[in-house]
Structure 1
Amino acid sequence: MATSRRISDEPAFVLHRYDWSESSLILEVFSRHHGRIALVAKGAKRPSSNFRPVLLPLQPLRVAFGGDAEIRALKGAEWVGGQVMPTGDALLSGYYVNELLLRLLARDDPHPRLFDAYAAVVHVLGSEHGEALQPGLRAFELLLLREIGLLPSLDAQTTTLQDLQPSARYALVPEGGLVLAGADQERASLAGAQWQDLQRALDDEAPYTATLRAVAGMQELKPQLRHLLHYHCGVPTLRTRQLMLDLQAL
C-alpha cells in the first residue's frame, strides 16, 4: 500500500484562508519548493489550536503537510519571526500582491525565485520606509510577469525584434508587447534606455534588489503594468484595487 508523501520544514506564506467547517480552515499557501498549494488546517479555528495565532497573511512560516489529494493536510506550522505585520496602505498592498498570486499562479507549480521576490516585497511592506512601497510593488510585478512567461524581453521591440533606440518612447501593451509609443501613449511609456535598464536589472543575480533600484522614478511604469496585469487576470479591476479606491473615496 502506497504511503502519502509528507513534506516538512517548507518555507511558506499564507495567501488566503476560507472557512471549511465550524472548526477548520482551507488555506491557499505559497511555498518555496512546491508553489501554490491548498491545505486544510483541521481545528485551526478552535481557541486552543496551536495554528490559530500562526496562520496569518504576510508572515513567514515553516510548514509541514502531507497527503496526495488536491487539498493536503496541514501537519504543522511555525512562525519564522523577524517580520512586522504591515499596516495601512502597506497592508492593502500586501493583499494586492496576494491576489495577483492567487489569480496568476497555477497550483503545484514551483517558482523558488518568485518566492524569494515575494519574501523581499513583504519585507519592504513591513518596513518603515514608505518611499520604497511603490518601487517595491513595481519590481515584484515585473518579476511575477517574467516568471510566469507573460513579460516580453525589454531590450527589443516585441514584434519586429529591432533594438530599442535609447531616446525613443516605447509602451508595454497586452498581446503587442513592447511597441513604439504613439502620440496618445506618451504618458504611459518609457524611453528605450529605461526599458534596457529594467532588462539588465531583471537579469541581475539579485533581481528583486536590482529591479527595485531601477524602477525608482519611473512613474509611467505603473499604468502599463496595471493594464497588463488586469488583462491577464481577466478583470477590469482587481478586488484589492477596488477596495483601495473605495477607501480613498470615504
Structure 2
Amino acid sequence: MTFTPTADRLIPDLTPAQQIVLLARTLWREGYNDHLAGHITYNLGDGTLLCNPWLLTWEEIRPRDIIRIDLDGNVVDGDWPVPLGIPLHLELHSARPDVQVAVHNHPTYGTVWSDLVEVPPMFDQSSSLGGGELVLVHEYDGGVNSREAAAKAISAIGGGELALLAGHGVFVLGSSVRAVHQRAVALETRCRNAWMVRAAGGRSDTPLPPWYIEQAVAGKGDKFIGFWEASVREELRAAPELLDDPGISHS
C-alpha cells in the first residue's frame, strides 16, 4: 500500500489568523526572535491584509491578537496597533499582488550577512529548501517605517522572493504560509552554515553543482508537504489551546 502525504492528513484545518500565529511561533524557534521586531502579512485579496500586531512578541501572539488592515495601514479589525515597519509590507502588496504571505524580521545570521552586505553561498541541501531568488538590497535608506525607504527597498527587490536588507534584516515572500515557512527556515540555515564555514576558514565556493542550485532556486516552496506541518505539530504540542481561538473573521 502506497501512502500519499496530504496536508489535511497531517494537521487540522487552520484559519488565516491561526496560520499567521503558528508561522510566527515556529519561526521564533528558528531564530526570528528579535524582541518586538518583525511583521507577517497575509493578503486576503480584497484590499486588506491580516497582520501581527505591534507590542506583542512572535512567541506570545494568539489568533485573537491578529489585526486586519487596509493598504494604507489603517486598522479595519482588531484591538492592537499596527507594527511600526508596516510600510514595507504595504509597498510590497501594492506592487506585487501575487504575493500572499510576507515575513520581515532580524534573525541572527541573516542579519549578519545583511550587515556584511553580502549574499552567503549555498553550501548544502538544507540551505536550498523552498527555492526562491535571494536578492541583496545594497543601500540602507532608513527604517522601513518610512514609506519612501520602504518603496526603495521593494523596487530594489524586484521579482525576488527572498531579500537581505543591508544594515537591517531579511524579507521572505511566497504564495502560501507553507512556502514562506520553508524559505525562511532555509534562509537562516544558509546564512548560519555559510558563516560557520567562513569562521572555520573553509572553502569559499560551494560543493553543490550549478544544475542543483539552479533547480533549487526555481522551487516554489510549497511542494515539501510535511516540513511546515511538523513544525505546526510541535507548536501545538506546546500550546494546544491555540486552535480554540480562530481569530478575527473576514468576508
Q: Which has the higher strand share?
A: 1
Q: Is the structural similarity TM-score above 0.5?
A: no
Greater RCO, 1 or 2 (C-alpha within 8 Å, sep 6+): 2
